[in-house]
Amino acid sequence: MAAAVSNKPQQDWADDDDGIEEPSTELPPVQTISNKDGTKTIISYRINEDGQKVKTTRRVRYITQRETVNPRVADRKSWSKFGQSEKDGAGPAPDTTSIAENMIFRPSINWRKDAKEEMGEQEQLKDKLKDKKVKCRICNGEHFTARCPYKDTMAPVGGTADPAAAPIGEDPALSAGPGPGAAGAKKGSYVPPALRGAGGAAAAGRGESMGGKFGDRDDLATLRVTNVSEMAEEGELRDMFERFGRVTRVFLAKDRETGLAKGFAFISFVDRSDAEKACAKMDGFGFKHLILRVEFAKKAAQ
């Protein structure tokens, strides 16, 4: 067994490509098998557009069709073959003639439109973009915005018209000319969201940061509960903590895929004193075989 394997010429990985390509250049001859029911099976090989070898098996039924033709044509049909075909028998010789696949051809006035629909999506996109030109957002010129010669002196077209879209805090500074603060001085350079409006009046814009919609309430009366069981439900937690006061929000982190709890939760109270009570009582409480750990939620790091 081992000898048989070693007899095979070892193929180097570098020769791999040649090994694949070699058989594709030589195609096996066409095979024709006559079936019992009068049909013939023709097995032929060809190389397709991607250079892959394709085996085609076709069953063909030959039907003799009677046709009335001009006597000249009939006479020519009876001519004996000559030249290289001298020895060929009646009927098409398989080495010179092969039957091709049936081509579908439906003449159509809307041919171009139909063909477009057939075209791949990518080609369609290419087609769509063919006439598109690069357009600068600042001066509408035919170059990328980043290459605009007016980049440092002009604002993007339509950018200042919509105050909501404009960066907060920067807009008033701009309209006041090269006004006070760092933001106004270096227009165009990137300002992280946290620092936007820093040049303005203190931390007015700081609410932009995450969780802004819950306001300060979050920081003051929110408990963080950890070591929560996987099987816990938000409802159960709400029941447990509502004993100490009004709970505005229960958030239990869950795995998106499995739907199981991740092991921590946030509970927000209306009143901070209730939260303090709950924190004292519930820390160390046994819940579903696990001991809860409850503490005040820390403020998000600034």
Which residues would be at the binding site for other proteins (CB under 8 A)? 49, 67, 69-70, 72-73, 76-77, 79, 81-86, 88, 90-93, 96-100, 102-109, 111-112, 115
Task: Report the length, in residues, of the chain.
Answer: 302
**Least distance to other proteins from the beta carbon of 63, Å?**
12
CA distances (Å), origin 106, targets 103, 110, 115? 10, 11, 12
3-state secondary structure (DSSP) of residue 272:
helix
Question: Please, which residue, 113 or 256, has the CB nearer to other proteins?
Answer: 113
Question: Please, which residue, 8 or 61, has the CB nearer to other proteins?
Answer: 61
**Least distance to other proteins from the beta carbon of 85, Å?**
5
Edge to edge, the sheet with strand 247-254 lists: 247-254, 261-269, 222-226, 293-296
Question: Please, which residue, 48 or 302, has the CB nearer to other proteins?
Answer: 48
Question: Please, which residue, 70 or 258, has the CB nearer to other proteins?
Answer: 70
**Least distance to other proteins from the beta carbon of 76, Å?**
6
Question: Please, which residue, 38 or 177, has the CB nearer to other proteins?
Answer: 38
264: β partners: 226
3-state secondary structure (DSSP) of residue 127:
helix
Phi then psi dihedrals of residue 291, to 5 deg: -95, 120
**Least distance to other proteins from the beta carbon of 18, Å?**
20
**Least distance to other proteins from the beta carbon of 128, Å?**
18
CA distances (Å), origin 202, targets 39, 168, 179, 205? 91, 13, 16, 8
Phi then psi dihedrals of residue 226, to 5 deg: -120, 170
Q: Smallest Cα–Cα separation from 28: which of 2, 6, 54?
A: 54
Question: Please, which residue, 27 or 220, has the CB nearer to other proteins?
Answer: 27
**Nearest-angstrom CA–CA distance, 150 and 148:** 5
Cβ neighbours of residue 252 under 8 Å, at least 6 residues apart? 228, 232, 233, 234, 237, 261, 265
Question: Please, which residue, 73 or 165, has the CB nearer to other proteins?
Answer: 73
- The beta-strand segments (E) located in 109-246 are 222-226
**Least distance to other proteins from the beta carbon of 109, Å?**
6
Question: Please, which residue, 92 or 215, has the CB nearer to other proteins?
Answer: 92
**Nearest-angstrom CA–CA distance, 62 and 37:** 11
**Least distance to other proteins from the beta carbon of 15, Å?**
24
**Least distance to other proteins from the beta carbon of 65, Å?**
9
Report the DSSP pairing between strands 31-34 and 222-226: unpaired
